[in-house]
Every structure is written in C-alpha cells, then in structure tokens.
Amino acid sequence: MAQARTDIGPPLYKEMLPPIIKENYGKWRYHEIVKPGVLVHVSETGAKLYTVRAGSPRLISIYFIREICELADQYCDGFLRFTSRHNVEFLLSDESKIDPLITDLKKMGIPVGGTGNSITNIVHTQGWVHCHTPATDASGIVKAVMDELFEYFTTMKLPAKMRIALACCLNMCGAVHCSDIAILGIHRTVPKIDHENISKLCEIPTLTASCPTAAIRPNPKLKSVDIKAERCMYCGNCYTMCPSVQIIDAKNDAVSIWVGGKISNSRIGPRFSRLAIPFLPNNPPRWPEVVDAVKNLVELWAANAEPGERMAEWIERISWEKFFELSGLPFTDKHIDDFTLAQTTFRSTTQFKW
Ligand code: SF4
Ligand code: SF4
C-alpha cells in the first residue's frame, strides 16, 4: 500500500537506510565487537556491516554536523546515524575504510568507543537551556562527569557495560528510572505563589487539576490558590501550567544519585534505579561533588563486581546492606519509603522521598 505523505512526524526511517541494511533487512544473524568503538553485523547472506561509534559533545553546532557529514560522504556513501545517547555511528560496508575513518575522527578530536564493557555517552534531558522545571542543568553536569570518566568511553576494561543517565527534575523525561547510575535534579521546597499575578496569568481550574497529589486548592477570597505543604512532592507539575507558582529555588534545589537500574532481561530481570545519595549540592559550572560521587560509585563497582555483572546484579549479589557499607554512603530516613518493611529491610524502596 502506498504511504500517504504528510508533514506530521519524521520521514519513514526505511527511506534512509543504507542499501546494505535494506538488502539484508530481517536477515541479520549476529553482531560482534571488533575493537572498542567498532561493531560488525553479519547477515545470513554473508554481508557484513561495520559500525564505527564516535562520541558527540551532545550540544553540537551546524559546523560539527557539516564535518561529520563530510566524513560520512567520504567513508560511508553519506550514511550515518545518531543514537539516543548522542553517539554518532558511521555505517560502513567496506572494512578497509574503518581505520582511515578512525584516524580522521581522532584528528578532529572525536573519540571512538562506547561499545561493550565501557561507559557510553550519558543520556540526558534538557536542563536549564530548554525546559522550565529543571532543578539542575543537564548537558553542563553531564560534560563535567563525562570529562572525568572519559577513559572508560574509549576502553572496554570495566566488568560490564555501565549506563549513566541524567534527568534535571523528577518528572525525569530521561532514562534515570532504569540506569546503572542515575543523576537526578530535585526540588526540595513547595512552589511559591505569586497571589498578585496568578489570576492574570493562569487558569485556576487547570492549575488545581495539574497537581497529582491534590495539594492545590482554590482560594476564592484571594482569587488565587493555596498549597498544602505536607502533600507536595515538589514535582513542579503545577509550574508547567502556571508561571505564578514558581518551583525553582536556587538555594535549595539539589542533585540526588540513584543506582542499580537496568532494562535488560539478562542474568536478572529489569530493575528500577534506587536512591543512593539523597542530596548533593547543585554546584555549577563543574559540579565537583556530583562528579566525585559518580566516579566513586563507578570505581567501587569496577573493583568489586564479577566479570559480566552490571551494577544491579552486583548489588543484588552482595545485598543493599553491603552496598551501603562498602560505599560508605550513609543510609538515612530519605531512603526509606515503606516504614513497615523498613524495620527489617530497606530493600522495598523504589520511590523518591524527602
Ligand atoms: Fe524538563 Fe524535568 Fe525533563 Fe528536565 S527532566 S527536561 S526539567 S521535564
Ligand atoms: Fe502539586 Fe507537584 Fe505543584 Fe507540589 S509541585 S503543588 S505536588 S503539582
């Protein structure tokens, strides 16, 4: 059936596939990592597709895009793709072009890696540049962390793959709920109400309906609203509806660290990330406390995990109690979500709590 053409959404992905992928669609038998940053996919027809994975700086200029497109023209008949983790993948059908491409990428200062037992680029949300509810920045903090972990991008010396994600608020439009290590910006104060302007800027019914915990009630006398502080979970949903309930608080907004999430079903089933560090200061431009914390967790896991064990699998084997003991991280009331079970174990907590 002919595809209707519309201006809604992206073009059909099949139109942009390299010929070798079109010809072998549904016939790929397996893939292997040839060396850090280089994959080969082998088809049942015998065809081989080589992928060279390069790290991008995530926020990129038009000049950077032009440069990588020129490389794609030179080495891969113009085909490349961006991964959801902001890596650039060059797709080659000619094996002899792999090393010259890598040499050219290195000349441009672009690293090749992020495959196998490595730390690939960090997936992150929008941060201060684009979104309106962030408690911290996204690309700035990720740059600071990745600068410190760079050697793990270009090598494969870790026990298993390590996926790190960042979301700048707990609505987390990133992947922090299921990452080996997650960096999560948190608000810690109730939104401040601008009673004077609220009726001019906002629809009160929409605003009250926006709160998932029913913390917001109309205040007809003031033509405004009240917020029940004890019900507020600092999600910032109300602020997305109404600029007169400001959630951002430069003094109190902070960063939390979560561990042990995964989406794969290998070895043990998928897991949500769980709270490890409830509070780190939001300290731009280089967030040294966050960088140290993430690096320490990576190194602790790398030193103690068995080959092939991801963060969740390692913690599952040694127990959460042992994880807190080994990491030296204090276990506090902020980690406890279920007060009934918490008397005997803190294994049940999946929720954020302040
Ligand atoms: Fe916006 Fe929150 Fe997503 Fe950050 S995580 S981009 S603040 S919705
Ligand atoms: Fe409700 Fe979230 Fe606003 Fe608090 S921050 S009042 S929980 S919508």
Nearest listed ligand to the Cα of residue 170? 1
Structure tokens at 189: 């104060």
Q: Is the dihedral of CA 147, 178, 300, 341 positive or negative?
A: positive
Between the CA of 131 and the centroid of ligand 1 the distance, in Å, is 6
Which phi-psi region, left, alpha or beta, contains residue 287 (left: φ > 0; alpha: ψ -120 to 50)?
A: left
Q: Contact, 185 vs 142, CB < 8 A? A: no
Q: Contact, 135 vs 98, CB < 8 A? A: no
> Is the Cβ atom of 206 under 6 angstroms away from ligand 2?
no
Query: Which ligand is closest to the CA of 166, given by its number?
Result: 1
| Residue 350 pLDDT exceeds 80 | no
Which atom of ligand 1 is least distant from the CA of 138? Answer: 4
Q: Fold for domain 192-245?
A: Alpha-Beta Plaits (3.30.70)
Report how far ligand 2's centroid is from the alpha carbon of 206 (Å). Answer: 13
Atom of ligand 2 nearest to the CA of 216: 6
Residue 134 Cβ inside 6 Å of ligand 1? The answer reads: yes
Nearest in space to 45 (alpha carbons), one of 60, 65, 28, 62? 28
14-108 against 192-245: fold identical: yes
Residue nearest atom 3 in ligand 2 by C-alpha distance? 238
Residues 6+ apart with CB under 8 A from 288: 144
Confidence of residue 1 (pLDDT cuts 50, 70, 90): low
Q: What integer best gives the mean pLDDT of the chain?
A: 91
pLDDT digit string (tens) for 201-214?
Answer: 999 999 999 998 89
Nearest CA to ligand 2 atom 4: 232
C-beta separation of 50 from 90 below 8 A:
no
CB count within 10 Å of CB 35 equals 13
- The 3-state DSSP class for residue 325 equals helix
Q: Give the per-residue pLDDT at 347.
A: 47
Please identify, by atom number, the ligand 2 atom nearest to the C-alpha of residue 234: 5
CA 126 to ligand 2 centroid distance, Å = 20
- Output the CA 50–ligand 1 centroid distance in Å: 35
ipTM over 0.90: yes
User: Which pLDDT band holds residue 354 (cuts at 50, 70, 90)?
Assistant: very low
Q: Which atom of ligand 1 is nearest to the CA of 131?
A: 1
Residue 132's pLDDT is what? 86
Residue 346: CB within 6 Å of ligand 2?
no
pTM for this prediction: 0.90
Q: How confident is the model at residue 177 (pLDDT cuts 50, 70, 90)?
A: confident
Residue with tokens 């410190």: 148
190 in contact with ligand 1, CB cutoff 6 A: no
DSSP 157-169: -SSS-B-EEEESS
Question: Could you report the per-residue pLDDT of 45-95, keeping only the tens digit for each?
Answer: 999 999 999 999 888 899 999 999 999 999 999 999 999 888 999 999 999
- For residue 256, give the 3-state DSSP assignment: strand
Ligand 1: residue whose CA is nearest its atom 6? 126
Q: Which atom of ligand 1 lies nearest, measured to the CA of 174?
A: 5
What pLDDT was estimated at residue 173? 77
- The verdict on the CB of residue 56 being under 6 Å from ligand 2 is no
User: Does the domain formed by 14-108 have CATH 3.30.70.3340?
Assistant: yes
**Residue to mutate (ligand 2; options 172, 225, 234, 352; most atoms within 8 A of CB):** 234
Measured in degrees and rounded to the nearest 5, phi and psi for residue 126 equal -90, -30
**What's the 237 CA to ligand 2 centre distance in angstroms?**
6
Who wins on pLDDT, 29 or 352?
29
Domain ranges of the chain: 14-108, 138-186+250-345, 192-245
Q: Longest Cα pair distance anywhere in the chain, in angstroms?
A: 76
For domain 138-186+250-345, give its CATH number from 2.140.10.10, 3.40.50.720, 3.30.413.10, 2.40.30.10.
Answer: 3.30.413.10
More confident residue, 121 or 342: 121
